[in-house]
Amino acid sequence: MGRLGRKAKLTLVAARKPQLKKRAKRDWSKEKAAKFLSVLGTTCNVSEACRRSGVRMTVAYRRRKMDAGFRADWIETLAGAYSRLELVLLDRAFNGTEKVVTRKDGSIERMLEYSNQLGLQLLKMHRETAIEADSELPAEDVDEIRERLVRKLQRLKKRDEEQEAERAGLRGAAPREGDAESGDGGAAAQDI
């Protein structure tokens, strides 16, 4: 119990022997992770996400490296953010952006401007996807590959069973030292 009768929040510290310690403000928490991922999804910027969530960048990258769940959330968040960004860019490429032009006489004209550079960049980004879509295997080829894989797996299973039977035959019916104590009829020796 804390000084005022409240329970102190504890955090697990990874060390040689795991330890519980009182949580400090700078420690990682679910709330910080949620804030970090929220900002990352909005900005696609790790530096900004760290700044707004109060996490040092090295801590965020270390957490991503060591925590598979956080790494998966990070990847999913960025994938969603990039998808939204791509949609915005596609909208600009197809529909243009409004440009306000002021003439010499002071009149204002609004026009749509289409960026050739943006369109070319999007074409480059999606060229491989389009090629992959055109070169997908026909269903007959997929079935043939599946059948070949099944046959190969069956051969591997048969070979494994033969090797296991051969090992059992070499051992003979007599129990070896330690087999009687294990009570598993020698199965422990087979796991080697």
The pLDDT, as a whole number, for residue 171 is 73
Query: Would you say how long the chain is, in residues?
Result: 192
The pLDDT, as a whole number, for residue 140 is 74
**Within 13 Å and on the Cβ side, how many CA atoms surround 167?**
12
Each residue of 54-109: pLDDT tens digit?
889 999 999 898 888 889 999 999 888 888 888 888 888 888 888 888 889 989 98
The pLDDT, as a whole number, for residue 11 is 59
- 23 contacts: CB under 8 Å, gap ≥ 6: 8, 9, 10, 11, 29
pTM passes above 0.95: no
In this prediction, the residues of the chain whose per-residue pLDDT falls under 70 are 1-15, 18-27, 129-137, 172-192
**Tokens 């296991």 label which residue?**
164
CATH 1.10.10 for domain 27-114, yes or no, is yes
Mean residue pLDDT of the chain comes to 78
| CA distances for 35 relative to 26, 54, 175, angstroms | 14, 9, 62
